[in-house]
């Protein structure tokens, strides 16, 4: 669940849904947006304007090729940031210059699908560029969408939650499990530790029990359970 407490140097990575903009305005988070969702806007315009969309998709491929090389070279931290600034930044600048040129060269109607795609990208330029200045920010939300896929696939298992509170709790547990996996944490180990620790942990420091902070503070020596010895 998203809270309203400001997080130091916090970044929210999202798609273009407008509610996220209002949320970051209230919390002071940095808003990063997804290049994959931006690309989808152009794909939807392909039938109406195939030539310019083909050029846009070519530029997307070049940008994603930079990310592929970063993964292949296993670059992290400052090295990853420097590589992005050297190789991805010029591509991003060229992309947005191309967008401006398209707007100046063609007077497409606002209802034109390509106009909508261009406007989508231009409006979100600052958020789309966040990944260039923070090596920990992914270029898109694809990894999150893959992690969340089990939820819609298993919707029949929790279609009838009986109460709104039950549905809310299901959402919280699913979010915890997926966050654990994103941080390389065994969800079982995490839950066994936290369920024992939470009763004596300071309420003011409850954020330390979220998966990312828990891994840094308690992950090396998690609390175990005798019950786990019987599991085979």
Say if CB 60 and CB 39 are below 8 A apart.
Answer: yes
Q: How far is CA 215 from the centre of its chain?
A: 20
Report d(CA 229, CA 231) in Å as an integer: 6
**Stretch 139-155: mean pLDDT:** 75
DSSP-derived 3-state class of residue 45: coil
Position 116 confidence tier, pLDDT thresholds 50, 70, 90: very high
The pLDDT score that the predictor gives to residue 3 is 58
DSSP-derived 3-state class of residue 162: coil
Highest mean pLDDT: which range of 77-91, 177-191, 213-227: 77-91
Report d(CA 49, CA 116) in Å as an integer: 12
Q: Residue 2 pLDDT more than 80?
A: no
Say if CB 27 and CB 50 are below 8 A apart.
Answer: no
Q: Residue 55 pLDDT more than 90?
A: yes
The pLDDT score that the predictor gives to residue 105 is 78
Q: Indicate left, alpha or beta for 177 from its phi (over 0: left) and psi (-120 to 50: alpha).
A: alpha
Question: What confidence tens digit (pLDDT) does each residue in 56-74 have?
Answer: 999 999 999 999 999 999 9
**Stretch 108-118: mean pLDDT:** 86
Of 6-10, 77-81, 193-197, the poorest mean pLDDT is in 6-10
Q: Can you spell out the DSSP letters for 111-137? A: TSHHHHHHHHHHHTHHHHTGGGT-TTS
The pLDDT score that the predictor gives to residue 124 is 93
Residues near 198 by beta carbon (within 8 Å), at least 6 away in sequence: 206, 209
Within 10 Å of residue 58's Cβ, how many Cβ atoms? 9
């Amino acid at each position: 669940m998203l809270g309203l407490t400001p997080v130091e140097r916090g970044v929210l990575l999202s798609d273009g849904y407008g509610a996220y903009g209002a949320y970051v305005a209230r919390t002071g988070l940095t808003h990063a947006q997804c290049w994959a969702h931006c690309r989808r806007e152009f794909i939807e315009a392909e039938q109406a304007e195939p030539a310019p969309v083909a050029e846009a998709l070519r530029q997307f491929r070049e940008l994603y090729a930079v990310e592929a090389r970063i993964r292949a070279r296993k670059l992290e931290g400052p090295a990853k940031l420097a590589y992005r600034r050297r190789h991805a930044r010029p591509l991003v600048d060229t992309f947005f210059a191309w967008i401006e040129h398209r707007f100046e060269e063609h007077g497409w109607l606002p209802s034109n699908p390509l106009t909508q795609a261009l406007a989508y990208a231009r409006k979100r330029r600052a958020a789309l560029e966040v990944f260039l200045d923070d090596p920990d920010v992914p270029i898109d939300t694809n990894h999150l969408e893959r992690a969340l896929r089990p939820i819609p696939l298993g919707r029949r298992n929790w279609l009838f939650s009986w109460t709104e509170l039950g549905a809310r709790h299901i959402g919280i547990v699913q979010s915890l499990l997926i966050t654990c996996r994103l941080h390389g944490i065994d969800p079982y180990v995490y839950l066994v530790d936290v369920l024992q620790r939470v009763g004596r942990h300071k309420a003011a420091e409850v954020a330390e029990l979220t998966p990312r902070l828990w891994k840094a503070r308690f992950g090396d020596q998690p609390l175990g359970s005798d019950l786990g010895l019987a599991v085979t």
